[in-house]
A and B are shown apart, each in its own frame.
Chain A
Amino acid sequence: MSSGIVILVSLLYLAVLFGVAYWGEYRTRKGKSPVTNPYIYALSMAVYCTAWTFYGSVGRVVTNSIEFLSVYIGPTLAAPLWWILMRKIIRICKVQRITSISDFISSRYGKDISLGAVVAVVTILGIIPYISLQLKAITTSFATLTRAQQDSTFLGDLSLYIAVGLAFFTVLFGTRKLEATERHEGMVTAVAFESIIKLLAFLAAGVFVTYGVFDGFGDITLRASQLPSLNSLFSIPTNGGHSTWFWHTLLSFFAILFLPRQFQVSVVENVNEDHLRKGMWLFPLYLFIINIFVVPIAFGGTILLGSSTDADSYVLAIPLHFDQKILALFVYIGGFSAATSMIIVETIALSIMLTNSLVMPVLARNPQWLSSLNMARFVAQSRRLGIIMIILLAYLYYRYLGNIASLVSLGLVSFAAVSQFAPATLAGLFWKGATRRGALAGIIVGFVVWFYTLVFPTIVGGQQQISDILVHGPWGIEWLNPLSLFGFTEFDNLSHAVFWSLLLNTGAFVGVSLYTRQTSIEHNQAVLFVDIFKYSTVSESSIVWRGTAYIPDLSSLLAQFMGKTRAERVLSLYALRHGINSKNQQADPRLVNYAEKLLAGIVGAASARVMVASVSKEERISIEEMVDILKSSQEIMSINKELTRKSQQLEEATRQLKEANEQLQRADKLKDDFLSTVTHELRTPLTSIRALSEILHDNPDLERDEQEHFLNTIIRESERLSRLINQVLDLEKYESGKQSLRREEVLIDDIIQEVLESLRHLADEKKIRIQQTSDPYIPVIGADRDKLLQVVYNLVSNAIKYCPPQKGEINITTFHIESNAVVSVMDNGNGIAPEYQQLIFNRFYQAEAQSVRKPKGSGLGLAISKKIIELHGGKIWVESQVNKGAKFTFTLPTLPE
């Protein structure tokens, strides 16, 4: 294929890419950003798959069997934890306006500048080789497609052109606007598009090889098993192979989080935490699908092309071998797409780190430069410069440190580099005690070990003399041998390096953290990070800043980055929303905090802090005070809640008290009424007794008959009096619960008989007929005999009293139902009006209606009867209508058989 066509197609593709990005930004401006789609988010994460995935995996199979898969299983194992880890990180970044890993780590440990700088340097040094790889892949695939000579000068020139082109393209992509959140919707859309392209291209190649050239997976396996070189690849070599798998998995586990491009797309570019729900399984699914055909292509390539072609190029070489030009072109574009997406995102992310963590802090320390530059332009320019510089460095690395090993192993070296951030970051999310010095120590130690064990040997390995070190160690010190530190020879080179670097990193980190103290701002940040979910809603109130700052100063600082009008507008909007009086010249701490946050989104937290500090006078604040402030803001919220709860309780209690008071008043009145009734009742017989006694006294010579008559009356009235008093006392006993029952087995019919006996003469006097219907099967009742007699006596005597003479009729019925005996006493007297039917059982009468008095003469009998029945566990009531008689019924529980 002619190189002209390939170049043309490549440029066309870049144009399409740019169009997609432009479309993405256009839609965002219209408010219908593609980035709000969770599928776009998940696809953007697939930028993880670079030319390494596209070409390198196949190459790796031939040398190391299925070990390559560990790099994709690691992220899948990490994905479930995203919901916990990444959600926390995303929330923190949103609240603190963090836009890169260096900013994150620096921010966590007190917005420390040196830490941010170290992280930025480590990342840049670690990732540049990785970028070179992509350049190499593009160049090689170009050469393969055009079947050009593969001499180094030609390839070198080609790669230069490619590098320049990509730099230009990336600059266009990533630095067009200066947003406070570093969101690049266009870039994300383009990356998602590229992910689809590379997936389709690879699948096309895979399907072609598996089903076009061969007859499916089984066929390939069969053919492969016949080649000893391939047959041995069905399993992983066990010498050291065990640990290699594990360490590679671990590395990719960290890489999915700490690679700059991954951090950029999954954290910084995230618009909705909820997207994680889909991303957690969509992204692993993508990895799964793109890896299905790797092995078939590898095996197929070996079978078809043998060792004449580099295994890394099989994906392209096989279609070319069968003269499938279109497919080959498509595959080339797929690989091209994989490489360019990596370069674009990675470089943008790195340039952000470069600017925010290395350039801006210098500027912030020298505020006099601030005013002389147009900050907005300056930041944008430094970003562009950063991008160009990084790609240039990558090109130089490729050109002159040319002995690049396979795509895969160099990629893993980059993984190992960014993994050095794992202890400081992951522990920092959960352990408030992690200190800045600890993080610094850990990362530096880790980086040094990484460099010494992984990079140094490759630099030195080519030169014969110095490669002595690799065999005997520096200055002959065996246990400092970079390839086998402390004599550890079990692992392969990479695993060995990862083990030692992470071990010493973590050790230094934890050790130093435990022995150093935090400053107050460190502690503040630690709490804000670890407890982010508690504070993200009160982030504005958890201000720990004391000092004086003036609004005009803040405003002009912001103006340098976002223009005067915008700065003023943004500040006054904030003040309005939070009820801050912006008329004061002096700025409310919340406003200062907000300004710092806005700035952090543009230049990084550390620089922002320094800049704001330079325009304000901050007071030093001790950790105790800081902790107190944080705690008190929490306390205020909970106190508030308590207060509302308590006041509600108070209302309730007041209401209950009022009710109780009313009840007491009513009871009091009722008591008064009772007293007056009773005294009245008591006085009547007393009056007669006295009157009659006086008569007897004054008239000693009364006739004997008359004397007897009077004496009888006196006796009768005394009896009546004592009866009444007994009743009152009785009732009091019932009321106060002091009455006890002497229960025995009683037959209700016996009771009724007895009562009728004693009242027979009264009934006969008034010529009243009494009828009794009884249920022979009523079981025994457990009751106090005397008291029950009292009740029945009371009811029957009442009935007799109220029956009309001559034609009075009384019916006494008994029956039993379920576990109760029911007794009714019915008369045909005057009846009882409805309003009295409750009253008659009370010992009181309602005071409100004075005219309503208890029906005369019934005394306290019914009240006592009710008490007795209720004490036995029964009920008593009356049914009656005026002039139609009354029916009194009571129930008593029967003894179980």
Chain B
Amino acid sequence: MNEKRTEQRLLMASLLFGLLLNYPILSIFNSNRLLFGLPQLYVYLFVTWGVLILLIYRIASNIQPPKDHSNE
């Protein structure tokens, strides 16, 4: 896997979810309404957070184990 591409994907994940998990997008869900019987803001946060973790997992799994650098 191209190392540069991996780095770009990781950066993208960080930035994208930095946006999703912040205002103003957060303010869309910021109300007392319920979603699936739970406060919708909480649901949104946890679900998005979970997706981010999953995304990191996917990208990280594709990284080839690097060559062993002998510890000095």
Residue ranges of A at the interface with B (Cβ–Cβ < 8 Å): 66, 69, 73, 76-81, 83-84, 91, 94-95, 97, 217-218, 221-222, 225, 231-232, 234-236, 238, 242, 245-246, 249, 271, 273-274, 277-278, 280-281, 284-285, 288, 292, 295, 536-537, 539, 597
Contacts and interface: CB of A to CB of B under 8 A. Distances in A.
Given A77-B52, A84-B11, A95-B72, 13 more contacts: A66-B45, A78-B14, A83-B6, A83-B63, A84-B10, A94-B71, A234-B31, A235-B39, A245-B23, A284-B49, A292-B46, A295-B42, A537-B69
Contacts of A284: 49, 52-53, 56
B63 to A, nearest CB: 6
A578 to B, nearest CB: 12
Contacts of B37: 217-218, 221-222
Most A Cβ at <10 Å: residue of B7, B30, B40, B66: B30
Contacts of B53: 76, 281, 284-285, 288
B56 to A, nearest CB: 4
Contacts of B27: 238, 242
A81 B63 contact: no
Sorted nearest first, the 7 A-B pairs with minimum C-beta distance are A234-B39, A80-B10, A218-B37, A281-B57, A234-B32, A281-B56, A242-B23
Contacts of B32: 225, 231-232, 234-235
Interface residues of B, number: 42
14 contacts: A73-B49, A81-B10, A81-B11, A84-B7, A232-B32, A234-B31, A234-B39, A235-B32, A235-B39, A236-B30, A249-B21, A273-B69, A281-B53, A284-B49
Given A80-B13, A83-B10, A218-B38, A235 B60 contact: no
A81 B30 contact: no
Contacts of B26: 236, 245
Interface string B42-71: 100110011011001101110101100101
A280 B63 CA distance: 12
A288 B49 contact: yes
A274 B60 CA distance: 10
Contacts of B10: 80-81, 83-84
Nearest to B15: A77
Interface of B: 6-7, 10-11, 13-14, 17-18, 21-24, 26-27, 30-34, 37-42, 45-46, 49-50, 52-53, 56-57, 59-61, 63, 65-66, 69, 71-72
B31 A235 contact: yes
Looking at chain A's contact residues, the main secondary structure is helix
Contacts of B52: 76-77, 284
B22 A249 contact: yes
A97 B72 CA distance: 9
Contact of B65 (A69, A73, A238, A274): A274
Nearest to A299: B39
Contact of A69 (B34, B39, B45): B45
A164 B67 CA distance: 46
Nearest to B10: A80
Contacts of A225: 32, 34
A231 to B, nearest CB: 6
B40 to A, nearest CB: 8
Contacts of B45: 66, 69, 73
Contacts of B42: 66, 234, 295
A472 B67 CA distance: 61
A235 B41 contact: yes
Contacts of A84: 7, 10-11
B69 A277 contact: no
A617 to B, nearest CB: 27
Nearest to B17: A77
Nearest to B56: A281
> Counting chain B CB atoms within 10 Å of each CB, which of A69, A77, A78 scores highest?
A77
A622 B33 CA distance: 67
Most buried by A among B33, B37, B60: B60
Contacts of A238: 27, 30
Nearest to A73: B21
Contacts of A288: 46, 49-50, 53
A292 B18 CA distance: 20
Contacts of A539: 72
Contacts of A97: 72
A79 B54 CA distance: 12
A236 B63 contact: no
Nearest to A217: B38
Contacts of A66: 41-42, 45
